[in-house]
Amino acid sequence: MNYRSTRGQVSGQSFESVVLEGLAADGGLFIPEQLPTLPADWQTAWAELSFPELATELIAQFVGTDLSHTEVSQLVQKSYATFDTPEVTPMVQLDARTHVLELFHGPTFAFKDVALQFLGNLFEFFLERRNAQSGGHRLTVVGATSGDTGSAAIYGLRGKKNVEVFILHPRGRVSAVQEAQMTTVLDENVHNVSIEGTFDDCQDIVKELFSRSEFRREHSLGAVNSINWARILAQISYYFYAFFALRRSHGADALPAFVVPSGNFGDILAGFYAQSLGLPVAKLVIATNANDILDRFLRTGTYEKDASVAATPSPAMDILVSSNFERFLWYLARDHEVPSSVVDPEERAARACEILAQWMDRLKTAGSFSVSPAALDAARQVFWSGRCGDAETYSTIAAHYSHEPSYLLDPHTAVGVHVAETLRPEIKALGAHVHSVCLSTAHPAKFSDAVLR
């Protein structure tokens, strides 16, 4: 199992290398050179597995020879022992055809714990193994956060051997709980940096640090944001787990339409990879707040930055540019922008990297780029999208809290539930066997100001 950069200048990288490097040297994001083929009997063989057992089987498909099956299992078991329920990501039913997949049962009560507990253990494992062979290997992890990534990264990396972690967050743009979760951790290897600006400003600083090759080598920089492939990989597991849970409760023909609150695109990208691996999915639905670059792309075919970030009740989604969208765009370029006359797979991949690099350059210099009608049609075959304003976020929280049975949503999950309800006729038209599964990305207590409003 080897990995390449979306920008085309780096390829043939091992799983261990892409985990420790995070961002490719050419500024691109790592993707598998080929997706693995799941066992022919996975739908029956994996149907009754626990979450850690299922995660082990899926992750093992992507690690090549860098980890044995036993090592993957041990890392996964260690990672999810920190969660407050053995199900790890339990599913709750809101009504006959709407469900919430609760991803907030980890140490910081956010979905990012699912990936970052695992990533922290991966960092420590690989570094200890390298130091056993030749000493002196350390990692300086630098990350940007709009709130949840920072605390989840800190709790995943605190006290880890040979790892220093620096987290940048935008001052005044994270909730009080999120800030406290980050800044009250006093482990010597944890460092918080408050930035005057937005999440995008924090992310730009991180990307600039990674672009300085000498600085990057000198300090052994590692990435903890969802640009790190291991985070996407870990999140694939809960799509499969939700699929099996839905079929156990609603029959063998039940099919999920996943509705995902989306900011940096990493969460729903994991759903795209799950579907690409063969997971039966009726539809993937992107739910955005007022920072709606993804929704606008699917409506127009133009990916265009707004002039500024709008502050909303769902701050983890207050992002101008969705970094992980680059990974999906690479597949869009390979399959729908490269001429059909190019038949060699490696040549198609190389051409896709060239197209992707041109798009990213236009985004940086002109603030936007557009894809072809064919590529836009293909994107719409995979994704639907919807937008939720602040008023709708508050009203959705209130409506479900006062409904019987009562359920308390955090503002990010409320964005997803609102979009699911708005698209209910379209989802219903997919068939009576299709159920909306809304990913709940954080515990409501983390955003008490918005919830109590």
Could you confirm whether 161 is annotated as catalytic? no
Measured CA distances, 104 to 182, 282, 323 (Å) = 17, 24, 23
What's the token pair of residue 397? 């929280």
C-alpha span between 209 and 204 (Å, rounded): 9
Q: Which residues pair with 249 in a beta bridge?
A: none
The single residue of 78, 112, 207, 283 carrying the catalytic annotation is 112
Measured CA distances, 358 to 6, 322, 379 (Å) = 11, 17, 19
C-alpha span between 375 and 348 (Å, rounded): 15
C-alpha span between 215 and 9 (Å, rounded): 19
**CA geometry: angle at 60 spanning 77 and 237, to 5°?**
65
C-alpha span between 128 and 121 (Å, rounded): 11
What is the C-alpha end-to-end distance of the chain, expressed in Å? 49
C-alpha span between 92 and 62 (Å, rounded): 30
Would you name the residues annotated as active-site residues? 112
